[in-house]
Amino acid sequence: MQDGNGFLVVGGDSLVGASTVRALAGRGHRVIASTRRPDALSGDRVLIDFEKSETFAAPSGVDYAFVIAAATNYERCETDPMAKVINVELIPQLVASLLEQGLFVTFISTNSVFGGERPWPNEDDPHSPGIAYARQKSDGEREIRRAAEALGALDRLGVVRLTKIMDSDTPPLPTWLESWKRGETVTPFADLIFAPMSVSYVGEMLATIGEKRVPGNLHLSGAENVSYVDFAQAVARQLDVDPGLIEPTTATEKGVHIAFKPTYSGLGMTRTRELTALEPQSLHALVKDLFPAASA
């Protein structure tokens, strides 16, 4: 068993990982982040290459780990056998090793494991993954849970599934902003549905989950299933952009193939609310997070 109450964030270079590190550090916690870049090592940054089968000893003073790591590119998961190895074998092995060392582990997963055809699936609902990435994350969850059960560590394992995460640099936002500056229209897709959250919201909510040490399945979600047209309109209102500069279209009309095109994207948070008091993020709160300096 590790001594102390520090946090390890595996995947500290990722968007969600970096936000989680900031949130934990901002609350006064000791935080060590992992990186896959040898040139980025420091006293609070350690090397973990989750694409290799390596033994990793948790840093002294750490007793909680967030594992925010995966092969996430949809096309890679469809075509590269190594992606499945990473998601279904190597990362579950890392989680099992951390559990064996006595840490509490929260593994980050995805709403896509539910397939997107059921509205608001709750934390313990059955999976129905469609695309390869979703199948691999679902299988990875199963392998991690199996390892925890074998170690008698289910009370030290949490799985947190997330919906779409955004910051101000997430496509297509930079393109939209540049177009609006030039007085040009943007063409968001009305047939692409998501339940977006800001990366700052996710980081803070994960920090709260870490402080509460809740095992089992939890969800973080946007409060509404919205189209990219709805999202563009909300951003335009926040930035005081002429709504006439939004011309809705569809991916079908544009001939754009989208690998994951759910009917429903949002996650139910019944268990999460009961155990943590956390609430989903509204679309209004999201755009305020993305553009805090703008007038609403």
Please name the CATH architecture into which domain 6-165+196-223+266-281 falls.
3-Layer(aba) Sandwich (3.40)
pLDDT digits (tens, 9 = 90+) for 65-82: 999 999 999 999 999 999
pLDDT at position 1 over 50:
no
Confidence of residue 52 (pLDDT cuts 50, 70, 90): confident
Give the distance from CA 174 to its chain's centroid.
21
- Looking at per-residue pLDDT, the higher value among 49 and 197 belongs to 197
pLDDT at position 40 over 90:
no
In angstroms, the CA 35 to CA 18 distance is 11
Segment 206-229 shows an average pLDDT of: 98
Q: What is the CA angle 113-114-118, rounded to 5?
A: 165
Q: What is the DSSP string of 106-157?
A: EEEEEGGGGTT-SSS--TTSPP---SHHHHHHHHHHHHHHHHHHHTT-GGGE
Q: What is the CA angle 265-204-103, rounded to 5?
A: 95
Burial (CB count <10 Å: 0-12, 13-18, 19+), residue 254: exposed
Burial (CB count <10 Å: 0-12, 13-18, 19+), residue 109: buried
Percent with pLDDT over 70 in the chain: 97
In angstroms, the CA 80 to CA 136 distance is 12
User: Global pTM?
Assistant: 0.94
Domain residues of the chain, as ranges? 6-165+196-223+266-281, 168-193+225-263
pLDDT at position 296 over 70:
no
Q: Is 295 helix (H, G, I), strand (E, B) or coil?
A: coil
Say which residue the tokens 């990473």 belong to: 86
The yes/no answer on whether domain 168-193+225-263 falls in CATH 3.90.25.10 is: yes
Q: Is 96 helix (H, G, I), strand (E, B) or coil?
A: helix
Q: For the chain, how many residues are written?
A: 296
Give the distance from CA 25 to its chain's centroid.
19
pLDDT at position 239 over 90:
yes
pLDDT digits (tens, 9 = 90+) for 73-112: 999 999 999 999 999 999 999 999 999 999 999 999 999 9
